[in-house]
Amino acid sequence: MSIPLVSLNSIVLLNVSDVLSRNSQSNIGILLGRFDVDKFIIRNSFELLLNDNQSIDFDYLTKKLKQYSQTYPDDYIVGLYQIDIGKNYIDDLLQWLLNFQIQDNKELITVVFDKSLKGIEAYYQNRLIKSIIETSETESITTLTIDKHKNYATKNKKQESISITQHNETLSITLNKLYERITKILEYFENNQDLDFNTRIELDKLLVKLVNNFQFKQPINNESKLLKLQLTQLSLITEQLLVSERVKLQISKSITSGDLPNN
């Protein structure tokens, strides 16, 4: 097999950040996802507990994996993460997987984070390999739009290369992409009917409010007013999409944190 790539979902960074913020004694965790063609796709992670002799608490790991697999049956253990370099638990984990036939004997990776989360190193078969962070569509769309078009006039109020008309067109495209994102979120809810009643009610209210933003129509001839309206719409829609994604993240994190006793 050629040298693979590691694609980390931003949820993993949030999970590791949570471990650091709690000053947890454990500096290792499981990476969950799958291998696809030429890269490891890491969708989630959870912290591992250690016994008094600094060995992995495999009873706890078994319970967490069983709980996680009920929601994400296609995912499996792709490796371990460590916060700073320390004891390597890969061999212990591989032996456990082999003994208990938890999954097929697959090669595992190790991802090492420094405590600032600025340095990330991924290893496969003791070789350093490339890693990337995957952000959500909402984060990418919003960041690119703001970064590319943050300035469209100079201090002397002369137009730069991008005109207000072009800016409006770009924002319209962005709003359309965000609308597509709403559709995907609706599909997510349709495919996850096991959400508890109160959570579904709150999410339905949020989506109704979100969709209503697209129904605000008003004849506007002045381009500056149109720009202001679009910026307001973009701000509201993006904020509400991020709230919706945070709720989805909380649902996912409830599976991989805190729901099980430590012993």
**CATH at residue 46:** 3.40.140.10
Q: Choose the final residue of a domain: 134, 163, 180.
A: 134
> 186 and 102, same structural domain?
no
Which residue would you say has higher pLDDT here, 263 or 51? 51
Report the distance separating Cα 261 and Cα 46, nearest Å: 14
Residue 54: left if φ>0, alpha if ψ -120 to 50, beta else—which one?
left
**DSSP summary character for residue 135:** P
Can you tell me whether residue 40 is helix, strand or coil?
strand
pLDDT value at residue 156? 44
Token code pair at residue 28:
């290792």
pLDDT value at residue 157? 45
Report the distance separating Cα 143 and Cα 137, nearest Å: 10
Does 26 map to a domain?
yes
Question: What ranges in 149-222 are assigned the alpha helix state H?
Answer: 164-191, 197-212
Residue 40 has pLDDT above 80, yes or no: yes
Q: pLDDT for 107-149, tens place per residue?
A: 788 888 888 777 788 888 888 889 888 765 545 445 455 445 4
pLDDT value at residue 32? 92
pLDDT value at residue 161? 46
79, 108 in Cβ contact below 8 A? yes
pLDDT value at residue 42? 92
Residue 247 CB neighbours (<10 A): 16
Which residue would you say has higher pLDDT here, 184 or 218? 184
pLDDT value at residue 118? 74
Average pLDDT in the chain: 71
> 118 and 148, same structural domain?
no
Which residue would you say has higher pLDDT here, 18 or 216? 18
pLDDT value at residue 33? 92
Residue 77 CB neighbours (<10 A): 20
Once rounded to an integer, what is the mean pLDDT over residues 226-242?
A: 60
90, 82 in Cβ contact below 8 A? no
Q: Choose the final residue of a domain: 134, 164, 196.
A: 134
Residue 224 has pLDDT above 70, yes or no: no
> 99 and 178, same structural domain?
no
Can you tell me whether residue 220 is helix, strand or coil?
coil
Report the distance separating Cα 96 and Cα 240, nearest Å: 43
> 161 and 51, same structural domain?
no
CA nearest to 142, candidates 180, 177, 183: 177
> 143 and 117, same structural domain?
no
List, in sequence order, every residue forming a beta bridge with 33; answer none if it has no partner. Answer: 42, 76
Does 256 map to a domain?
no
Q: Which structural domain, as residue segments, surrounds residue 167?
A: 137-251
Q: pLDDT for 190-213, tens place per residue?
A: 666 666 666 666 666 666 666 565
